[in-house]
Amino acid sequence: MQTERAYKYRFYPTPEQEILLARTFGCVRFVWNAVLRYRTDAFYEHKEKIGYNDASIFLTQLKKQPDTAFLAEVSSVPLQQCLRHQQTAFKHFFAKRANYPRFKSKKHRQSATFASSAFSYRNGEIALAKCKEPLNIRWSRELPSAPSTVTVSQDRAGRYFISCLCKVDAESLTITPKMVGIDLGLKDLFVTSDGRRVNNPRHTVRHARKLARAQRQLSRKQKGSNNRAKAKQKVARRHAKIADTRLDHLHKLTRQIVNENQVICAESLTVKNMIKNRSLAKAISDVGWGELVRQLDYKAAWAGRQFVQIDRWYPSSKRCHGCGFVVESLPLNVRTWDCPDCGTQGIDRDINAARNILQAGTALLAGAES
């Protein structure tokens, strides 16, 4: 079986490439925002849904108008790709899987996607359309095949990255009889049915201290000064470092879970979102459940493992795994409880939940009524 896989590298643009990239990012952002505005207005004013083709016609008109003719100066491919991305974002929104798409700001991560017609891959080098020189990429590992698309981005710390989408043969792992249920949490990142507790990475605490110092320094600098710009960059670099560490940590964890288990069960994020309240929302986005689930999903698929997401509400915490009795209420601060029905004492809230999730997941797999 072949799957597509992304390979991400850092690269260092020449001053010339930097100008072209900044212009391309600017045009992509402009098109995203203009089309989003067009769609939003059409939806609110005429209850009309704008599809990909209408958006594409709208973009063609923009390029012809004198005040937005600058759009024709960059490769048309990333602009077209940006329409596709927005189409997908709306698809997720209408399927209630995501929030309404947001306007893009200059302050956030910038990106542009180039399909195969807009870049060349020759002698292990990548050159973008309208750029003579190939990109100076720091190849941390080899590409398995010629990429089908590449996405160029710049993070808030000013670093440039290129993500190459390549076809690879899926690595099927040897089948194991092991199965695991995962309860996503806040105090612990997750707890497994076999009793493993995984904390949120501790090392981010050290980074957080450095971030706080950088933020304090920034607040003392005068607005508009050169030193303020430098301090701002420093804060952005700290944020980037924390995000990198967190992502690294998640990759290691998901790799291990997928290697060790044939079947992995978790509650879907739709279910998790139902039980969250507003004060928990930030904590949830901080721990990165979405990224964890995303990684488990694709890594399991590559490895021939099964990742089961339980998509309807199930009393995983309040149900005694031993006898199936469901207690009426179980406040969040209660970490262990005793089952009034079968008399089991000291039931660990999270492990019990993870075991119920595993049971519900395997029942789903078997197609049985649960």
| Nearer Cβ to Zn ion (231/354) | 354
Give the nearest distance from C-beta 318 to Zn ion in angstroms.
11
| Nearer Cβ to Zn ion (231/347) | 347
For the annotated catalytic residues, the residue numbers are 183, 267, 350
Give the nearest distance from C-beta 324 to Zn ion in angstroms.
7
Give the nearest distance from C-beta 335 to Zn ion in angstroms.
17
Give the nearest distance from C-beta 348 to Zn ion in angstroms.
13
Distances (CA, A) of 236 to 47, 87, 116, 158: 40, 30, 32, 8
Give the nearest distance from C-beta 325 to Zn ion in angstroms.
5
- 168-174, long-range: CB < 8 A, 24+ apart: 168/2, 168/3, 168/4, 168/5, 168/144, 169/1, 169/2, 170/1, 170/2, 170/3, 170/301, 170/302, 170/303, 170/304, 171/302, 171/303, 172/1, 172/303, 172/304, 173/258, 173/259, 173/303, 173/304, 173/305
Q: What SS3 class is residue 352?
A: helix
CA angle 69, 150, 68 (to 5 degrees): 10
| Nearer Cβ to Zn ion (236/351) | 351
Give the nearest distance from C-beta 275 to Zn ion in angstroms.
22
| Nearer Cβ to Zn ion (234/349) | 349
Query: Counting beta carbons within 10 angstroms of the beta carbon of residue 354, is it exposed (0 to 12), middle (13 to 18) or buried (19 or more)?
Result: buried
Q: Whose CA is closest to 280, among 169, 168, 187, 203?
A: 187
Give the nearest distance from C-beta 193 to Zn ion in angstroms.
16
Q: Whose CA is closest to 187, among 350, 40, 310?
A: 350
Would you give the distance in Å from CA 218 to the centre of its chain? 29
Residues that bind Zn ion (CB under 5 A): 320, 322-323, 325, 339, 341-342
Other Cβ atoms within 10 Å of 347 Cβ, number: 20
DSSP at 173: P
CA angle 363, 254, 331 (to 5 degrees): 60
| Helix then strand then coil, % of the chain, to nearest 5 | 50, 20, 30
Handedness of CA 247, 253, 258, 263 (dihedral sign): negative
| Nearer Cβ to Zn ion (212/326) | 326
Give the nearest distance from C-beta 265 to Zn ion in angstroms.
21
| Nearer Cβ to Zn ion (108/335) | 335
| Nearer Cβ to Zn ion (83/320) | 320
| Nearer Cβ to Zn ion (339/353) | 339
Q: What are phi and psi of 132, to 5 degrees?
A: -75, -50
Q: What SS3 class is residue 94?
A: helix
What amino acid occupies position 341? D
- Give the separation between CA 98 and CA 86, rounded to whole angstroms: 12
